[in-house]
Each structure stands twice: as C-alpha cells, then as structure tokens.
Homo-oligomer: A and B are copies of this chain.
Amino acid sequence: MRKFVFVLCFIFAHFITFHTTIAQKRIPRNFAEYGFFLNKQQLYLQELLEFLRIPSISASSEHLKDVQGAAEWLKNRMLGAGISNAQIFQVGKYPLVYASIPAAIPQAPTVLIYGHFDVQPASVEDGWNITKPFKPRVIQDKIYARGASDDKGSLLSVVHAVEAILAVSQGRSPVHIKLLFEGQEEIGSPDLPSWLLKNRKLVQSDLLISADGSMHSETIGSIVWGLRGAGAIQVNVTGPSHDLHSGGFGGVVENPIHCLVKLLQSMRYENGSIAVEGFYEGTRTVTQKEKEFTRQSIDFERELSRLAGVSQLVGGESKLFDVIERLWFRPTLDVVGIWGGYMDQGIKTVLPARAHAKLSFRLVQEQIPEKVVEKMIRHVNEHCPVGCACEAFDLGFHALPFESDPDMLSNQVLRETLLDIYQEEPKYVRSGASIPIVGFIQKEFQMPAIFLAFGLPDENIHGPNEFYRIGSMDKARKAYVSFLYQLGERYQLERSSKKPTQSQVVATTTPTEDIEMDHSEL
C-alpha cells in the first residue's frame, strides 16, 4: 500500500452507522476449508516470517534481486498450493506473479485478486527498535517486520485460502480466480497500467478484490465504497537568470517567489473554492442514497480534529460543504510543497532566480486526472505574473476516483462475510485518499471492486516497527474462503432467477459471457 493510499481510510468508519437493520448476533457459516486450516497456524506463521525475510524493496535498485526473490518465493508457494500455472511476468524491471484457477462451473463469475509483495524502504536508523526491518520478530500476537501489514500478510492469506479451497473441493473452485501480485506498488506501479492493457484477457474479470488495504479495527470490518482520485503537478517559476543581491536588485527585478505566491493565490477564491477554469467538470451533487450511506455520529468532526491536532476543520470549501462531504465527495487542490531562495538559519538577502511548488489534487466522481492536469497547466500558463516565466508539468501520479455501489451484490456478499468473521456489522466507509490501480482497473476494464484486506490502521505501515497481527491471518484466510463461496452461490441464485438486477456483480458493459478464460495462455 503506497504512502498516498488509505492509511487513514477507516479511522472514521467508527462513526458511521449502517442504516439497514440486521440481526446483531448470528451463527457464522462454517466452511469445510476451516478444518483444513486447523493446526496449520504455526506453519503459516513460519511461511510469513520466511517471506518477510526477503528485503523486496522496490525503490532500491540494489534490492531488485530481492524483489525478484520474493516473486520466486511466492510463485513456488503458489505452485505448492496446487495453483499449477503460477508464473512470473516481467513488467518493466519488476516481476509480477500471476495465476488463474478455473471454477467448477464454467459460468461462474471471475474474480481478480490483487496484492503486492514489494515493500517500502526501511533501515534501523529510521527508528526500528523492536527488531531489524528484515529480521521478523514475533511478540505475542504481533509480527514485527517491514511488509508484514503492507502487504505480505494479507497477500499470503489469499494463497492459503485458495490452497484450502483447491484441497477441500478437489480442484472445484466456486469461482474463476485470477491472482495478480505485483512487485512495484510502493513506487507507484509505473509499468503496470500498460501491462494490464496489453494483457486484457489475463486481467478482465467480473470483480476486482484488493488484498491491499485495511479493516476498521480488530473487532469490526469495513466496506470501502469510494476513494478519491488524484493527480499532481509541479510549478516552476523563473525570474532573473541567477540569484541576485536583494539590495542591488530588490524593487527593480521581479522576485519569482512573489510571482509564485500570486499565481497560487489566483487558483483559489476567497470562499475556498478552486478558481482554475473547468476544475469542477465531472463533479456532481451528492445523491440522497449516498447521503444515507454517510450518516454520521456527532463525533466525526471531533475525532478528525483530534487526529489532525487542530481546533477547527476549516480547510478547502468549508464555507460551502460540511466535513464529510468535503472529505469524501469534493475535490481538493493542495500545495503539498513549496520552496525557493534561502531556507537556512538567519538571513541571506537574496533575490532568488527560481521558486517552486508541488500541487496535488484529489478528484471525485467523473473527474479525470489527465484532464485536470491539463487545466492546471493551462491556468499556470495563463496566469503567470508579468516579469516571471512559469512552467508546470505533470508529476505522473494519476489516480482515477473509485466509486462502487455500497449495495451491489459483491458488497452484499462482503457484508455477509465480514458479519460471519467479526460477528459485528461492518462499517461502510469511503476515503479521501487514492489507490491508483483500483480506479484504473475499474475504469479501463469496467470492473467493480471491493477491498478484502486485513491490515489495521495502527500497524505503522511505511514507518518503523511495522507489524501485523497473527489473528488477522486467520481472519483473512477464512474471509477469502467465505467470500468466494458465497459469491459463487449468490451468483448462481441471481443467474437462476434470470433477472439481472442493479446490484449484479457484473458490470453491465462487460457481460460474463464475453469473458473467455483461456488457461492455455499461461
């Protein structure tokens, strides 16, 4: 899970109440595969520790061999699980592990399960004081190591679940399963989108399940039904050809920091809304149904303030929209970095040659990152103050907004699954953050997506002392078994009623019938 991903996504879920009245306690289904899991806890744990010992840091070229090593390890483990066509694809410089498992019934739906085995950089100097990043250490229920929570823990449980299904059903999977585990997520998956487009048949499915993400808490699951999209540009403003003395030229030569300040200020109206022409194209008013799903307790704002360490939530369009609407349904434009001139101790009276800013924006609904980037660049060019030269360029970080119908069949099945696992009603949440690959697959392949990942918000992903809970491994493998069986079952029910519904798992533009599973490809 990348830094810009939904670390904070589920924190707020606590305050969202699901509107449907349901029975609170119920008898969970007990799948035969749960028996297969018995007495394997130690084995699974040892496997995860082995997996975690591989320093598969995608950001470091010297660790490229370890990313490759993690792919090999994973492929072998998948082959060992009976996933006979597991294989490694080279995607740019990075490996991708892919496999497909046919369903017992050809007409069964196809799910694409996504995860990543590369990890963020980590060194003892960052503050790892419980263990070294790649020397996993288990203390009570916690496994400390880089990548434990993000994302090797959840990913490995997917393999365990599939192994159990194949073993118990003797190869008769309830759904067609495609497994796609990448090795470049932590550097923004630069080569993945074009690979996905070139390998449409391997990708196209009825549902994307992301094993990258997190749950609400140890005792409550969550259903993510929206993420914001994102994009980013850099703005460079140039003044004189070299740094000047602010005495010798101040007041005579335009200061590029002044130009930058003026330019940035031109992007925002006094009420906080964005003044960049066309910025809001593709946005719409929140629907009644969406509002129902975002009903919140009165503590939502207080909790958010507490987390941010601020006394007021007044950012962005606070004069126009309430907090939850701003966070989940409104786009933003943030200056995430600014620099120019002298930034050290004391004073140096320089009139700098250059000033810079990095701007990121969050997108919603039908906004498209590339188009917003274009509009931003046009604004920079058209509003460059006299006396300076301005340029803006795309920083290549594009994420389409992700939205799903919280009521669609796969989310209904997900709710059932989480209710089984946690014995508590899951939280329906959106996040203000972005997971680029999910939005991309949803749009390019017209596939709905759900999140089934068991990291928790307190597990220090991307930081020192990252950890994962042993208990989450058990929940994860059971959840995958449960979800896949229930999905197959519900899908059969839907088919047999022969009445396509709004809440059908299949995206309307890509009927299942069109999907050919050609396993000879692999």
Report A's interface with B, CB cutoff 8 A.
Answer: 3-9, 11, 228, 230, 232, 239-242, 244-255, 257-258, 260-262, 264-265, 268, 304, 308-310, 312-318, 323, 326-327, 330-332, 334-343, 346-352, 355-358, 360, 362, 386-387, 395-397, 431-434
Most B Cβ at <10 Å: residue of A5, A251, A257, A262: A251
Nearest chain B CB to A333 CB, angstrom units? 8
Asked if residues A314 and B250 are in contact (CB atoms below 8 Å), the reply is no
Asked if residues B358 and A342 are in contact (CB atoms below 8 Å), the reply is yes
Nearest chain B CB to A153 CB, angstrom units? 21
28 pairs, CB–CB < 8 Å, chain A vs chain B? A4-B347, A4-B348, A8-B248, A228-B247, A232-B347, A246-B362, A249-B432, A250-B316, A250-B334, A250-B362, A250-B432, A251-B332, A252-B323, A253-B315, A255-B335, A257-B337, A257-B338, A261-B261, A261-B265, A262-B265, A318-B387, A336-B348, A337-B340, A337-B350, A337-B352, A338-B338, A338-B341, A349-B433
Copies of this subunit: 2
Q: Out of B7, B242, B315, name the residue touching A251 (CB < 8 Å).
A: B315
The 9 closest A-B CB pairs, nearest first, are A241-B309, A247-B433, A251-B316, A8-B248, A251-B332, A337-B341, A314-B387, A337-B342, A254-B315
Of chain B, the residue at the smallest CB distance from A325 is: B251
Nearest chain B CB to A43 CB, angstrom units? 36
Of chain B, the residue at the smallest CB distance from A314 is: B387
**Given A245-B433, A349-B360, 18 further pairs, Cβ under 8 A:** A239-B310, A241-B310, A246-B336, A248-B431, A252-B315, A252-B327, A255-B334, A257-B338, A260-B338, A312-B387, A314-B386, A334-B349, A336-B342, A337-B340, A337-B343, A338-B340, A339-B340, A349-B433
Most B Cβ at <10 Å: residue of A317, A341, A386: A341
Nearest chain B CB to A296 CB, angstrom units? 13
Instruction: Give the CA-CA distance A318 to B386 in the complex, in Å.
Output: 11
Instruction: Give the CA-CA distance A326 to B191 in the complex, in Å.
Output: 54
Of chain B, the residue at the smallest CB distance from A244 is: B308
Task: Say whether, besides A314-B387, A347-B358, A432 and B9 are in contact (CB < 8 Å).
Answer: no
